[in-house]
Structure 1
């Protein structure tokens, strides 16, 4: 096993691993800021095609400036390894929330969709198509905000990239290997939105061929979707890409108009509150969970510094911890029982010299500590991977 570490960082623990590599939590020596380091596996690092794609993911992240997308700190490549160093967002995957709690409610579904769509909008504005939007690649933080992660199979708008993605969320044209387009990302985001509303994927099948046929031919699913939100589902999952919003920014504008008309101007605040309540009930899934003191009898409490609103920055066992934890859980319970209102990159690159970084960015204090979400399907990145399931 390759034990190479990125110079200037101390690795703390592994967050996930798969055939394509591993993701570890690390700390930057100069600032003490926690980061996520995505290592490309040794086998794939010697494959020029995979290495090219991995470099492309780093360039893509470096070009995106959005609070709704994981931030790149640097890309480092040397004789012994290649790694992407990026922001460590202290959040849980939307998939974990759905698995644990089922449907999240209309306002929470709208809030998580809006946040991650803004991440897509930043990518689309840069000419990049994500191609793998799914609950595993959307993170929800302790304050209910959301971020889009894992651009491992992203491609330029119009690129003739090989067909790739996660079958349950792939647009009809994506199955046929059509050029990458923002409209396919809109379809996948809407399919995820449908799952947030209903607790189930839009289409299921016993095999890939049947699943592909359902995405291509079955009517847009509408069962259990609140009536005010049906236009969003119908528009975002239209069979023909030209019948969907052309890119994420247009879909965000449509979402905001419909959400405000249906649930009032405070819909997003309430939705994020519910997401925060759901996330706080899964404390051990946060990357910061390892910060708490060892010992099975310790009770965890949060300690936020001045201006900290992003999440659980540290865990401190102390005499007041029981009361603090009870208060957090009581708030979560109250929010949960409150009824919802009615209603790669392309382009080649020459081999880099030993331990050469493609960026000069270093972690700055105040970065929001993101667990890279597991990625399914054909991905060239180092996120934990698993065979796609229908």
Structure 2
């Protein structure tokens, strides 16, 4: 007999279906005792016939009910009725992150950082209680219309989303969001959730999962071996600092990921504070209400901001070619239909001799980029690539490697100077003068920040370290004093033999030859007389 949706389930009044899957159905319901709308998830009869599934379901529900955090979906209870087992939980009226991505496509970096911070805070609360989610993905991040972000389905949806591969019992989770250790069926800790969160945030920025294929086994192999494509290559407007954070979350070695979800949330919050123009929660609410409009308004605002800055820098005559071009490039990138930005970019590129389109790498750059894929944070390789790209007048590649270098915590003053010189204007003597960093000057005596992060629309800045001189040449070794015996006689030193230039020696030989010829001629005249 076909399964029918009940009108009442466990005392809750069922109003409509929110979502339906192969293992469960979720309803919008009303709790008359509490006087509020809730969500009720009912396990379908075919899933309820599996005793092992029901035992695991009840165990995970008990764990989830112990978690209480603003970024974890609240569970109000569970039970068994004639219509089947069910759980009552908080209603997330904004849908899931998967729904948002399907509507909006790639999200702005500030929105992704806000999402990431909220998800990581929820995971931190779970990890503190010894709970590892094991199935972080966009479907399990629920949203509320007022901008709330909730982590849901701790250990439940991993069974609901089982694939043929998952049913073997060796691997549990959704393949395209698994961590490497999860793909290898190894014991999992909190770091596994960090990797899965990194995959999810990468998808939010790039618009696609970096590992997903049509074949689960191939997907798992990609997770183990593939380094995701650079986010700069996907969208050059994504700040390098955001890409660095995701690179750490997506490290194949769990020991190279952030030490905890709480630490990753703090790092994300610091980036969010630097990149956002206003309250991030308010911007996220606007994005949820109308994704298309929010993205369009943001793009127009940033395009105009970068265009105005490019005009001001051009009028001042104080900016380098690279800084000017970058502002014009961002104005064009954010507003492809902005004719003034496009014209300015073309004019500046022509005058600076740069090419700004997507260019294939030269053989040498391709070789260095292959090495960089194995060591993406090598200052030496990044500096070589930036200099070579600049030499080849490949503007986009030059900026890609420069911005990555600027975001790295480089300690060596010499390397920092070399990085600054990549986009600096020369002074009268040809020495690089870094562009001034954005924001107010540091207080007297305060140490400059080694990692300036340019917010959206802020001027490009070279590393903000104090000016440093190039590495000094080694001082000459002191001349050893002469050994003194019992009867030392000090003799005056001989003057060094003075070498004459080769041209002087040749001149003397010519004079002597002329004198000899004159003597021979005089003798011949005497003989003739």
TM bin, normalised by shorter chain, reads 0.5 to 0.7
Judging by fraction of residues, say which structure has more helix: 2
Distance 1:3 1:215, change over 3 A: closer
* Alignment match, 1:14: 17
SS across alignment from 2:139: helix
Q: Does the 8 Å CA contact 1:109/1:271 hold for their aligned counterparts?
A: no
Tell me whether 1:341 sits opposite 2:456 in the alignment. Answer: yes
Q: Say if 1:55 and 1:214 are closer, same or farther in 2 by CA, change over 3 A.
A: same
- 1:240 correspondence with 2:253: yes
Q: Distance in 2 between matches of 1:275 and 1:69?
A: 18
* 1:190 correspondence with 2:219: no
| Residue pairs, 1:36-75, within 5 angstroms | 36-75=39-78
> Structure 1 residues 2 and 53, CA, compared in 2 at 3 Å: closer, same or farther?
farther
Alignment-derived partner of residue 180 in structure 1 = 188
Q: Corresponding residue for 1:82?
A: 85
Closer, same or farther: CA 337–192 of 1 in aligned 2, 3 Å: farther
CA contact (8 A) 1:95 1:135 kept: yes
Aligned counterpart, 1:350? none
Tell me the distance in 1 between the aligned counterparts of 2:151 and 2:81: 28
In structure 2, C-alpha distance between the alignment counterparts of 1:126 and 1:234, rounded to whole Å = 27
For residues 170 and 235 of structure 1, the distance between their equivalents in structure 2, rounded to whole angstroms, comes to 16
The gaps in structure 1 that reach 5 residues or longer are: 156-160, 283-328, 344-390
Which secondary structure does the structure 1 equivalent of 2:173 belong to? coil
Structure 2: how far apart are the matches of 1:56 and 1:184?
Answer: 21
Shift of 1:12: 0.5
Kindly indicate whether the alpha-carbon contact (under 8 Å) linking 1:92 and 1:279 is maintained by their aligned counterparts in 2.
Answer: no
- Determine the structure 2 residue equivalent to 1:249: 262
Task: Give the drift of 1:139.
Answer: 2.2
Deviation, 1:331, is: 7.9
Q: How does 1:202-241 map to 2 (within 5 A)?
A: 202-224=210-232, 225-241=238-254
Distance 1:23 1:228, change over 3 A: same
SS of equivalent to 1:92: coil
Distance 1:216 1:145, change over 3 A: same
Question: 1:273 is matched with which residue?
Answer: 282
User: Per the alignment, do residues 10 and 337 of structure 1 end up closer, same or farther by CA in structure 2, a change over 3 Å counting?
Assistant: farther
Change (3 A) 1:333 1:217: closer
Q: What is the CA distance between 1:113 and its match in structure 2?
A: 0.7
Question: What SS class does the counterpart of residue 128 from structure 1 fall into?
Answer: coil
- Deviations along 1:268-292, whole A, 9 cap, x unmatched? x54333322221127xxxxxxxxxx
Return 330-339 or 66-75, whichever deviates more: 330-339
Name the one with the larger strand percent.
1
1:67 and 1:139 map into 2 onto residues whose CA distance is: 12
Q: Secondary structure at the match of 2:95?
A: strand
Asked if 2 retains the 8 angstrom alpha-carbon contact of 1:277 and 1:336, the reply is no
| C-alpha distance in structure 1 between counterparts of 2:296 and 2:88, whole Å | 37
Return the offset for 1:330: 7.8
Q: More relative contact order in 1 or in 2 (CA 8 Å, sep 6+)?
A: 1
- TM-score scaled by length of structure 2: 0.51
Change (3 A) 1:33 1:170: same
The 3 A distance-change label for structure 1 pair 57 and 337 is farther
Alignment match, 2:38: 35
How many angstroms does 1:175 deviate by? Answer: 0.8
CA distance in 2, matches of 1:270, 1:104: 17
Work out the number of aligned pairs and report it: 288
Q: Could you tell me which residue of structure 1 aligns to residue 400 of structure 2?
A: none
| Superposition TM-score, scaled by structure 1 size | 0.67
**Aligned equivalents of 1:9, 1:277: Cα separation in 2:** 32
SS at match of 1:11: strand
2:142 is matched with: 139
Partner of 1:122: 125
Check 1:3–1:229 CA distance in 2 against 1; reply closer, same or farther (3 A cut).
closer
Cα distance in structure 1, aligned partners of 2:272 and 2:293: 28
For structure 2, the residue ranges without an aligned partner over 5 or more in a row are 160-168, 233-237, 303-454, 459-529
Displacement, 1:206?
A: 4.2
Q: Report the Cα offset of residue 9 of structure 1.
A: 1.3
